[in-house]
């Protein structure tokens, strides 16, 4: 682990450092109505030492013990330290079976995550009402704006930095998309349940269907070289971060297949961030490209973004939850490309119509010094614990904790 993430002493941190951070303003940032409604959250060490975070109007109190906690989470000291450093995440710890919910509901632990990041790091909690985004000329940002490769790069770079995503139209020709689709189909045909590189789910007919193929760069040199295509490279250069192709990572290139009528698995994704399984502090910023082999529309299973949310946090919501922010649907066509920061909150609700359903090739960029603090190839590998390749819903995993 980097010296910047030296292990924290659980007792000293809660007696001295965390109260200092809360008093400096982190407590006021965390104290949102949603957090107060969740009740107190306690972390308990194997030694029995426990501290409770008790939210209230205007702040959060840190108290020894767990008498006032609605939810008590047991975990090892090193895992709590990595959570406090923003290396681990609540969903990642649950999927990996590294924590136990000794009291209450483990999904409350998940929903506490924006509050934890605010308490530990002062990271704002996202509010659509407060997200006043402006374009390069100071006008209200048109969150549905699409660009061509030849458009003004200053404006495009400003949009990406402000909104956290960008849609570029007609980047690949129909003939190029045909060839990419052939390569994607070849990889899909070789995917097998339990191969530890493909995601599977079940539809309403109880049929097992393929949702994603990962590590495509390991078996297809052309797909592996997409990050170095001059068009993709020029779009990546719009970022104000110095990013390089994520070729050495297990999820560097993937094929995403949207399916209708899904009842299990991760085809319809909730509001999430791409570092949601862990690694924010050691990996981000990450920039994810989607090359569209089929359109993104509500009827095909669109990709939705929360503009400006890449610099804040948001609690867990299903994509179809009426309480969730609506966001912006990316109206991409075949051959278009979208890019988004991994930190932005985005969702993939179920298709509302008939196919062809959304299908993309995913390509990613990251910092040159990015690393996996666990020493693994991908934080998302924790999703592939089942022998049949099925990726379980987080709520089902939480019930087992």
Q: DSSP class of residue 140? A: B
Nearest to 121 by CA among 280, 285, 273: 280
Q: How confident is the model at residue 252 (pLDDT cuts 50, 70, 90)?
A: confident
Which one is predicted more confidently, 3 or 23?
A: 23
| CA distances (Å), origin 27, targets 54, 103, 309 | 11, 24, 20
Structure confidence at residue 395 (pLDDT): 85
Q: What is the pTM of this model?
A: 0.94
Q: If you average pLDDT over residues 257-268, what whole number do you get?
A: 92
The 8 Å CB, 24+ separation contacts for 176-180 are 176/335, 177/292, 177/293, 177/334, 177/335, 180/223, 180/291, 180/293, 180/361
Q: DSSP class of residue 350? A: P
Nearest to 62 by CA among 6, 119, 140, 129: 119
Structure confidence at residue 161 (pLDDT): 97
Structure confidence at residue 378 (pLDDT): 87
199 forms bridges with which residues in the sheet? 212
Least confident of 3-7, 113-117, 212-216: 3-7
pLDDT at residue 377 tops 90: no
Q: If you average pLDDT over residues 383-395, what whole number do you get?
A: 82
Structure confidence at residue 13 (pLDDT): 98
Structure confidence at residue 1 (pLDDT): 52
Q: If you average pLDDT over residues 325-352, what whole number do you get?
A: 96
Q: If you average pLDDT over residues 94-105, what whole number do you get?
A: 96
Maximum distance among all Cα pairs of the chain, rounded to whole angstroms = 65
| Complete domains list, the chain, with CATH | 3-121 (3.30.1050.10), 135-392 (2.60.120.620)
Q: What is the pLDDT of residues 153-188, one digit of tens each?
A: 999 999 999 999 999 999 999 999 999 999 999 999
Structure confidence at residue 325 (pLDDT): 86
Q: How confident is the model at residue 336 (pLDDT cuts 50, 70, 90)?
A: very high
Q: What is the pLDDT of residues 102-136, one digit of tens each?
A: 999 999 999 999 999 999 999 999 987 766 899 99
């Amino acid at each position: 682990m980097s010296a910047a993430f030296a292990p924290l002493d659980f007792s000293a941190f809660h007696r001295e450092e965390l109260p200092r951070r809360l008093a400096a303003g982190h407590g006021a940032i965390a104290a949102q109505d949603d957090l107060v409604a969740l009740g107190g959250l306690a972390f308990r060490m194997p030694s029995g030492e426990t501290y409770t975070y008790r939210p209230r109007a205007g702040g959060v109190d840190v108290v020894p013990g767990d008498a006032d906690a609605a939810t008590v989470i047991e975990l090892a000291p090193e895992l709590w330290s990595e959570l406090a450093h923003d290396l681990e995440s609540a969903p990642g710890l649950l999927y990996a079976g590294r924590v136990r919910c000794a009291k209450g509901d483990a999904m409350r632990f998940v929903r506490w995550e924006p509050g934890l990041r605010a308490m530990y790091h002062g990271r704002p909690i996202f509010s659509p009402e407060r997200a006043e985004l402006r374009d390069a000329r100071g006008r209200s940002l048109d969150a549905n704006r699409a660009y061509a490769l030849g458009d003004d790069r200053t404006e495009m770079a400003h949009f990406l930095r402000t909104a956290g995503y960008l849609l570029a139209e007609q980047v690949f020709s129909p003939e190029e998309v045909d060839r990419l689709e052939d390569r994607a189909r070849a990889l899909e045909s070789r995917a097998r349940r339990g191969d530890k590189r493909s995601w599977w789910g079940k539809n309403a007919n109880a049929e097992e269907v393929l949702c994603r193929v990962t590590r495509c760069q390991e078996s297809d040199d052309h797909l592996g070289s997409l990050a170095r295509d001059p068009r993709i490279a020029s779009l990546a250069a719009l970022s104000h971060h110095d990013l390089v192709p994520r070729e050495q990572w297990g999820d560097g290139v993937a094929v995403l297949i949207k399916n209708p009528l899904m009842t299990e698995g991760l085809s319809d994704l909730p509001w999430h961030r791409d570092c949601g399984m862990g690694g924010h502090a050691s990996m981000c910023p990450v920039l994810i490209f989607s090359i569209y082999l089929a359109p993104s529309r509500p009827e095909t299973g669109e990709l939705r973004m929360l503009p400006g949310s890449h610099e804040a946090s948001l609690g867990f919501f299903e994509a179809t939850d009426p309480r969730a922010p609506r966001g912006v649907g990316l109206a991409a066509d075949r051959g278009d490309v979208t890019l988004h920061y991994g930190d932005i909150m985005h969702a993939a609700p179920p298709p509302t119509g008939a196919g062809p359903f959304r299908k993309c090739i995913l390509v990613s960029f990251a910092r040159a010094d990015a690393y996996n603090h666990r020493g693994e190839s991908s934080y998302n590998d924790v999703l592939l614990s089942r022998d049949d390749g099925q990726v379980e819903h987080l709520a089902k995993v939480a019930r087992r904790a």
